[in-house]
Chain A
């Protein structure tokens, strides 16, 4: 084998340069992928809070995954690296680059041959390899180029660092990241729920009657107990539970506000609003308070009046006047009880006789017999009757107290049970009972006490309803913020609704394509034809076969008059031949169109259709 060491040295040199270039390429490629991965991670971490937390378990997963990907890329780059070329291939590359007419590669390829031509070729190769200018030329023609776009990978890495360090987190898509919510967000949700529920709880507990009434309705006092349960591990579940409890409370408050006590209070207020208070004198204050339905003010005015009567400091005239007005007020109250306007309206609205309001038993029987009412309506009406009865009883006590005071005034401050007995059978019965006990003043005192109780209860009911209304508004305000994020009055964070981050549920949607039947008319004119016939108007029609014939004739005439250039003749034949074949094939498959015929006769003055111009004469 001939000694071609100088050639092989050059080959080895070039091979090293190629390997270095490939290494650089691989590094650039790996850097590029690593940079893209880092950019994705950093942008994702900034867009979705909790998606990436280096210290958390998920963060470790990402680090591990990234390391695996990079290691895989490295192995892939190593395995897919181009195998080292043989001596001939590298020598051939040098020959091609330096335009050496394959002298080096031929010398290497025939190094083991001994014929004169091979020896001559090897000599030529060695001569070239010995030329010092070859090394310089190699540096120019086979440089170790930095791969194109080498800057892309480092740029991505710099971009990832910039995003990581300088871009603030946007926390987009938080609602969808239930599973990714970290402990801080869970605690925030629990705190917000606690504040919400504790506020409501405090509101309810300030009114013992309200608390008691809710307890009767089955409402647990410890509202926040379940909401803060450790089992609820996601903020969304905490919010849902809180919303559920608040809604339950709101419903119970609704029941309370439309329940028996509320109806009773309403009936009492309605009856009291019908009395006409005196415009002057000691009874003015009591009368106005009763008309307003203000139990506290009425109680106070009543006590004051009773004191004045008991002290007996009023002159005769005033006492008589007061007695008269008290008697009148008593009468008005009794009339209002008798009138029972609220129940009367309810019965009339239900299609029953309004006069039944005066007799609860008859009204109940009529309601039971009514066929136009359903069970719920019947129940509501009966509840109204019940409430009305209780209100009537209360007002009757009040009327009796007024009557008792009137008697006292007439007697100059002493008890006078006789009038009381004569005026009302029912009252006389109770009054008689007290008289039988031996002390007439005890009956008057009992009336006063009943009146005070009635007014106290009225005051209590007023406060109860007021607090219940307030609590219900609060509940509804909190629930309402669920639908309107950022507008809650209970906003703990300022600007973000406490319950405003509900997950969006996917709704079933579908698209249905429907093709309507349409009638196509008209169209673009694609051909015009002179005809030796009377002009016709209307739609022009022709069969494909006719067109085929026209095309064939047109081609022949055209080529006769203006010969097609020789180099294009085959093309023409091919095109028109294929066109005719295709038309014939199509005509064979499809039903041929009707032959051209006028759709309507030509009118003498009618303009010719653009598709069929007048015949040339």
Chain B
């Protein structure tokens, strides 16, 4: 990967500046973590992965049973970032216009002139919480496609840009199947990471109970610790983080290993995978790994960053075969096996 100096932020012209930028990134991320941690107890890995998606300019699909703090996390993040936040509760009767906005007729009282005026929908925000996204019909779900990929919305023949940064945090419930519409692969592919939210640990649960059932007057107020401009700078910094060729090759080998019948496929797992990861999987893996390296205070990505994020970046891009489902092999299991088999050492 060659990086020309003109892609660097203008102030990163020396090693010291790079180190400062990386250190600052880490400090800011820590502050953000702390601020979220004041409201949300535990789930530090989930918070890290959401922050990774934020700085990598990607979107996150959160999956977990109700009551694990998905919505609270997103709302708290919105408050901590000082960004425009909106929430859409997806229901089966939700229409695309309810998401994107619609044209209404407006009459000028003074002149009596009538004209169509566009009223923005909730998508015109910087942090969008798409709650229970799999409850809406595919038609409504597809309304998000253009916004997620192009960062713009086309209504009535007019395309409107969305304000940057734009982060979609969608949630879905894994257990309810009745009346749900599984997300199409095209839409799933547009999420940078799919984050699984697990149950709270014992200590975390104790803290949650103390905070929510004790004699506490009100919920802690979240301070804004990061502005939109700082986020934009951080996103540019992420793009210039160093990825050595052999580290990039490792990510590529992991993604190729998910392709059934491919030259680099793992023979033992071929019968488990119906559809492998798209190139977006490799892109997501590298971008997320870059952020992870910066969060760790490093200026270069390592294979460990890639391996650590392989599940989150690839689990929603793999379709299992019937045989794998019958055998109880999850996508995470398949990816973990691939990570175990593919050597992290550089291959000549």
Tell whether B108 is near chain A: CB-to-CB under 8 Å: no
CB pair A571–B177 under 8 Å, yes or no, is no
Tell whether A226 is near chain B: CB-to-CB under 8 Å: no
Q: Nearest A residue to B344 by beta-carbon distance?
A: A96
One of B245, B247, B304, B326 near A571 (C-beta < 8 A): B326
Interface stretch, picked from A84-92, A254-262, A476-484, is: A84-92
Interface stretch, picked from A68-76, A105-113, A531-539, is: A105-113
CB pair B8–A115 under 8 Å, yes or no, is yes
Q: Nearest A residue to B328 by beta-carbon distance?
A: A567
List the B side residues contacting A604 at CB < 8 Å.
none
Q: How far is the CA of A553 from the CA of B344 in the complex (A)?
A: 53
CB pair B14–A116 under 8 Å, yes or no, is yes
Tell whether B3 is near chain A: CB-to-CB under 8 Å: yes
Which residues of chain B in 297-348 are interfacial with respect to chain A, using CB atoms and an 8 Å cutoff?
Answer: 298-305, 322, 325-326, 344-348
One of A85, A92, A571 near B344 (C-beta < 8 A): A92
Tell whether B145 is near chain A: CB-to-CB under 8 Å: no
Nearest CB in chain A: distance from B148 CB, A? 27
CB pair A566–B177 under 8 Å, yes or no, is yes
Q: Nearest A residue to B13 by beta-carbon distance?
A: A116
Tell whether B240 is near chain A: CB-to-CB under 8 Å: yes
Which residues of chain B in 11-25 are interfacial with respect to chain A, using CB atoms and an 8 Å cutoff?
Answer: 12-15, 17-19
Tell whether A95 is near chain B: CB-to-CB under 8 Å: yes
CB pair B242–A95 under 8 Å, yes or no, is no
List the B side residues contacting A566 at CB < 8 Å.
175-178
CB pair B348–A85 under 8 Å, yes or no, is yes
Q: Is the interface of B mostly helix, strand, loop or mixed?
A: loop
Tell whether A103 is near chain B: CB-to-CB under 8 Å: yes
List the A side residues contacting B325 at CB < 8 Å.
570-571
List the B side residues contacting A123 at CB < 8 Å.
15
Given contacts A89-B347, A116-B17, A117-B3, contact A101 B244 (CB under 8 A): no
List the B side residues contacting A92 at CB < 8 Å.
246, 303, 344-346
Nearest CB in chain B: distance from A590 CB, A? 27
Q: Nearest A residue to B3 by beta-carbon distance?
A: A115
Q: Contact flags (1/0) for A121-150 with B, using CB distance below 8 Å? A: 101100000000000000000000000000
Nearest CB in chain A: distance from B180 CB, A? 9
Tell whether A194 is near chain B: CB-to-CB under 8 Å: no
Tell whether A414 is near chain B: CB-to-CB under 8 Å: no
CB pair B302–A101 under 8 Å, yes or no, is yes
Which residues of chain A in 281-320 are interfacial with respect to chain B, using CB atoms and an 8 Å cutoff?
Answer: none
CB pair B15–A96 under 8 Å, yes or no, is no
Tell whether A569 is near chain B: CB-to-CB under 8 Å: yes
Q: Nearest A residue to B298 by beta-carbon distance?
A: A101
Given contacts A116-B18, A123-B15, A574-B322, contact A86 B348 (CB under 8 A): yes
Q: How far is the CA of A96 from the CA of B347 in the complex (A)?
A: 13
Tell whether A231 is near chain B: CB-to-CB under 8 Å: no
List the B side residues contacting A172 at CB < 8 Å.
none
Nearest CB in chain A: distance from B66 CB, A? 15
Q: Nearest B residue to A569 by beta-carbon distance?
A: B177
Given contacts A88-B246, A566-B178, contact A117 B346 (CB under 8 A): no
List the B side residues contacting A88 at CB < 8 Å.
246, 346, 348
Nearest CB in chain B: distance from A84 CB, A? 10
CB pair A101–B304 under 8 Å, yes or no, is yes
Q: How far is the CA of A117 from the CA of B15 in the complex (A)?
A: 7
Tell whether A12 is near chain B: CB-to-CB under 8 Å: no
Instruction: Report how many residues on chain A are interfacial, defined by Cβ distance under 8 Å.
Output: 34
Q: How far is the CA of A410 from the CA of B61 in the complex (A)?
A: 154
Given contacts A88-B346, A566-B177, A571-B325, contact A117 B242 (CB under 8 A): yes
One of B2, B17, B300 near A124 (C-beta < 8 A): B300
One of B5, B18, B245, B300 near A103 (C-beta < 8 A): B300
List the B side residues contacting A93 at CB < 8 Å.
345-346
Tell whether A118 is near chain B: CB-to-CB under 8 Å: yes
Q: Contact flags (1/0) for B125-160 with A, using CB distance below 8 Å? A: 000000000000000000000000000000000000
List the A side residues contacting B346 at CB < 8 Å.
86, 88-89, 91-93, 105
CB pair A102–B300 under 8 Å, yes or no, is yes
One of A91, A106, A117, A570 near B18 (C-beta < 8 A): A117
Tell whether A596 is near chain B: CB-to-CB under 8 Å: no
List the B side residues contacting A103 at CB < 8 Å.
300, 302
CB pair A106–B15 under 8 Å, yes or no, is no
Nearest CB in chain A: distance from B94 CB, A? 22
Q: Which of B2, B176, B345 has the most CB of A within 10 A?
A: B345
Nearest CB in chain B: distance from A564 CB, A? 10
Nearest CB in chain B: distance from A138 CB, A? 15
List the A side residues contacting B326 at CB < 8 Å.
571
Tell whether B266 is near chain A: CB-to-CB under 8 Å: no
Q: How far is the CA of A116 from the CA of B326 in the complex (A)?
A: 51
Which residues of chain A in 358-383 are interfacial with respect to chain B, using CB atoms and an 8 Å cutoff?
Answer: none
CB pair B302–A117 under 8 Å, yes or no, is no
Tell whether B167 is near chain A: CB-to-CB under 8 Å: no
Tell whether A158 is near chain B: CB-to-CB under 8 Å: no
Nearest CB in chain A: distance from B183 CB, A? 16
Q: Nearest A residue to B22 by beta-carbon distance?
A: A120
Tell whether A506 is near chain B: CB-to-CB under 8 Å: no
List the A side residues contacting B15 at CB < 8 Å.
116, 119-120, 123
Nearest CB in chain B: distance from A105 CB, A? 6
Tell whether B241 is near chain A: CB-to-CB under 8 Å: yes
CB pair B299–A117 under 8 Å, yes or no, is yes
Q: How far is the CA of A356 from the CA of B286 in the complex (A)?
A: 126
CB pair A102–B302 under 8 Å, yes or no, is yes
Nearest CB in chain B: distance from A87 CB, A? 10
Nearest CB in chain A: distance from B182 CB, A? 11
Which residues of chain B in 221-258 are interfacial with respect to chain A, using CB atoms and an 8 Å cutoff?
Answer: 240-242, 244-247
CB pair A102–B247 under 8 Å, yes or no, is yes
Q: How far is the CA of A92 from the CA of B293 in the complex (A)?
A: 17
Nearest CB in chain B: distance from A113 CB, A? 8
List the B side residues contacting A571 at CB < 8 Å.
322, 325-326
Nearest CB in chain B: distance from A94 CB, A? 9
Given contacts A92-B246, A117-B3, A117-B240, contact A106 B348 (CB under 8 A): no
Tell whether A617 is near chain B: CB-to-CB under 8 Å: no
Given contacts A86-B348, A115-B8, A117-B3, contact A109 B244 (CB under 8 A): yes
List the B side residues contacting A95 at CB < 8 Å.
302-303
Nearest CB in chain A: distance from B65 CB, A? 13
Q: How far is the CA of A109 from the CA of B302 in the complex (A)?
A: 12
Nearest CB in chain A: distance from B233 CB, A? 16
Tell whether A99 is near chain B: CB-to-CB under 8 Å: yes
Q: How far is the CA of A574 from the CA of B322 in the complex (A)?
A: 9
CB pair B300–A121 under 8 Å, yes or no, is yes
Q: Nearest A residue to B14 by beta-carbon distance?
A: A116
Nearest CB in chain B: distance from A370 CB, A? 91
List the A side residues contacting B298 at CB < 8 Å.
101, 124
CB pair B348–A89 under 8 Å, yes or no, is yes
Nearest CB in chain B: distance from A502 CB, A? 56
List the A side residues contacting B241 at CB < 8 Å.
117
Nearest CB in chain B: distance from A22 CB, A? 15
List the A side residues contacting B246 at CB < 8 Å.
88-89, 92, 102, 105, 109
CB pair A105–B244 under 8 Å, yes or no, is yes
List the A side residues contacting B299 at CB < 8 Å.
117, 120-121, 124
Nearest CB in chain A: distance from B240 CB, A? 6
Nearest CB in chain A: distance from B260 CB, A? 19
List the A side residues contacting B245 at CB < 8 Å.
109
List the A side residues contacting B242 at CB < 8 Å.
106, 110, 117-118, 120-121
25 contacts between A and B (CB under 8 A): A88-B348, A89-B345, A89-B347, A93-B345, A96-B344, A96-B345, A99-B304, A101-B293, A101-B304, A102-B246, A102-B300, A106-B300, A110-B244, A116-B12, A116-B13, A117-B3, A117-B300, A118-B242, A120-B19, A120-B299, A121-B242, A124-B298, A566-B176, A571-B325, A571-B326
Per CB-CB distance, the 3 closest pairs between chain A and chain B, nearest first, are: A566-B177, A101-B302, A92-B346
If A116-B14, A116-B17 are given as contacts, then 16 extra A-B residue pairs at C-beta distance below 8 Å, sorted by A number, are A83-B348, A88-B246, A89-B246, A105-B246, A109-B244, A109-B245, A110-B242, A110-B244, A115-B8, A116-B15, A120-B242, A120-B300, A121-B300, A124-B300, A571-B322, A574-B322
